[in-house]
Every structure is written in structure tokens, then in C-alpha cells.
Amino acid sequence: MINGPFLLYLGHSTDPVGIKTSRGLADFRRQDCIGEFRYDDCPLTLGLPRMTLAEGAAAGARTLVLGIANSGGTMDPALIDDAAEALDNGMHVVSGLHQRLRDVPRLAGLAAAKGLDLIDVRNPPADLKVGTGRPRAGRRVLTVGTDCSVGKMYTTIALAQGLKARGETADFRATGQTGILIAGSGVPLDAVVADFISGAIEQLAPARDDGGWDVIEGQGSLFHPSFAGVSTGLIHGAQAEALVLCHDPARQGMRGLPERTLPSLAECLALNLRMAGLTSPGVRAAGVCLNTSSLAEEAARELCESTGMELGLPCTDPVRFGVDNVIDNLLCPAS
């Protein structure tokens, strides 16, 4: 668990999807967020007070969260300068990037001298084992997607919250840096050595006999050439009884590979079910969740209705309309 209060870093970001970690904390741990730090060339905001690093520290921020993502997860010199300034102002620094804070000598030396922490979220457990795919007890649902960053984490959290509201025992199982910061635990799956990906998920969501649900956050997409390997290992390790498909209808091409078109929802769902069947032969689709933030509300509602009719599944936007229809099907599947 990363202790707040937080100052959330936006820096020079111009890509709304690239600040998803900061946005996730602002949405799900807002009580712990004091403000946001961004430069004048950053057109984005989380709706939090804008502060300098010194102002954030003076307001009580204990931790600067570098809640941005880029291809390869590297730190440029300007980001390192900002992290150093945060340390100079007495704040711990948290990062979800692949490049580790502790591997930057300047930051490591400054943190040690000031008695402050550098926390790298993408730091997988050391005791992971190779997955087996052997049947295990418990109820598990996994979110999958047509692409990266289409709403899998938001959907997973909404499903876990919705199940709890129905009186079910449900645990959100985080597999990415944003989810881990929100939940306080999890496995950063894209930092796990490939041989151990499925085993990491078997360990994250082990056998349980209390009738409760493990609601597992999906990663990447089987159709994304860069990340399909991670998605495959996750699907096999999850051994889910049900999948929920996530999609952004405004997406014109794969994230980071805009020349590649997205699969149709039916095609994507069919391949995910086929892959999941290796370790969960009875797997089924429970619903579809769309990120309709680019649409007017009536258009969003109509799209959910038409998509649901086309696929024969409940369809919703979990942020706008909730997930009750998906949970209905999860708990009492339509015949």
C-alpha cells in the first residue's frame, strides 16, 4: 500500500490515455489526492488543484506519483529532474514505468541521503512459479479487450464493486501498475518473465472455497502484436469461468500501431473464448463493456443496446450506466 496524500504527475503529457495511472488514482483514491503537477504545455487535467512540487509538499503531499505511461516505460531527463525536485521537497516518489527509479544513480543517492523511498510498482514477486493449468476451486471472471487501454481496469473494479453490492464476496485482482496502486496489491504482469506469467495469475487468484469471486484485471489484447503474449499467459492462468469483453468504439487503430485495425467484437470474443478454453473448458462470455466517453449519452445508450443485440449479450458502459446487467448474467446466466 502506497501511503497518501498524493501529488499526481502529468508533466508534459498530451495523450489522455497516457495519464491513465494518475487518472485512475484520481477516480478511485481521490480522497488521497491533494493535487496535480503539470506544465503549461500539458492540456490535460484531472480536476484537481494545480500545484508546483514545492506547493504540493507544503500542502501535505507525502508522495509524488509518476502516473504516466509511454512506449517502453522509460524516463526522460526532464522526468528525472522532476523526481529529484520532489525528493528535494521531502516527498517519496512512486513510478509505474518499466525503467526503475532505483536504477537511476542520481535519484537513488538523493533518496538515500534524505531517508525517502523510491517505489517501483512494476516489481514482480521473486517467488513466482511456472503455471500448471490444473483445475482449481473458486469462481473467477476476467476482463479482456480488443486493444490496450480500452477500459479493462475500470470494468474490473466496477464488477468487483457490483458483486459486493449484491452481497457476494469479491476481490479485485490487479495486474497492472494503476490497479496495483488503487488496490494496494497485485502482480505487474508485464514485468514478469514470460515463463511465469500464467503461474503469477494462479498465485494471484489461487483456489478458494468460500464461494467468492476473484475479479481479474485483463491486460493488452490477443490482437495486439506487442502485447498478445502477456494477454495469452493471463488468460491461461486466470482459468476464468466467464469473460467480459471491453472495447472503445472511438478507437480507429491499435494503440501504438495505428496502421492496424481492431478486430470485430465477435471475432475478438471468439478468439478469447477459444484461448481460455485451454484451462477452463466451460468458459463463457458474461457481457460486453464499452468506453463511450467520446459519445453523447443517448448515442452511447443506443450503441450499448445495438451491440448487446448483435452479440446476444448484456452490454453497458460501466462508468455511465453501471454493470448490473452484466452481473445479472454472471450470477444467473441466460439459458
Residue-wise pLDDT tens digits, 165-223 = 999 999 999 999 999 999 989 999 999 999 999 999 999 999 999 999 999 999 999 99
DSSP-assigned letter for residue 49: P
- Name 310's Cβ contacts closer than 8 Å, sequence gap at least 6: 265, 266
pLDDT over 90 (residue 71)? no
Q: Which tens digit of pLDDT belongs to each residue from 261-313?
A: 999 999 999 999 999 999 999 999 999 999 999 999 999 999 999 999 999 99
Neighbouring CB atoms inside 10 A of 312's CB total 10
pLDDT over 70 (residue 29)? yes
Grade residue 72 by pLDDT with cuts at 50, 70 and 90: confident
Mean pLDDT score of the chain: 95
Q: Which tens digit of pLDDT belongs to each residue from 106-137?
A: 999 999 999 999 999 988 988 999 999 999 99
Alpha-helix residue ranges (DSSP H) falling in 89-186: 105-114, 152-165, 177-183
Residue with cell string 496489491: 185
Q: Would you state the pLDDT for residue 70?
A: 77
115 φ/ψ sector (left φ>0, alpha ψ -120 to 50, else beta): left
Q: Reduced to 3 states, what is the DSSP secondary structure of residue 145?
A: strand
- What separation in angstroms does the CA of 303 have from each of 8, 256, 318? 34, 26, 13
- What separation in angstroms does the CA of 232 have from each of 66, 97, 142, 235? 28, 22, 12, 5
By the 8 A CB rule, do 245 and 312 touch? no
Identity of the residue numbered 42: C
Length of the chain measured in residues: 335
DSSP string covering 115-160: T--EEES----TT----------SEEEEEEESSSSSSHHHHHHHHH
Q: Would you state the pLDDT for residue 73?
A: 80
Cis peptide before 5 (omega within 30 of 0): yes
Q: Which tens digit of pLDDT belongs to each residue from 142-153?
A: 999 999 999 999
Q: Reduced to 3 states, what is the DSSP secondary structure of residue 271?
A: helix
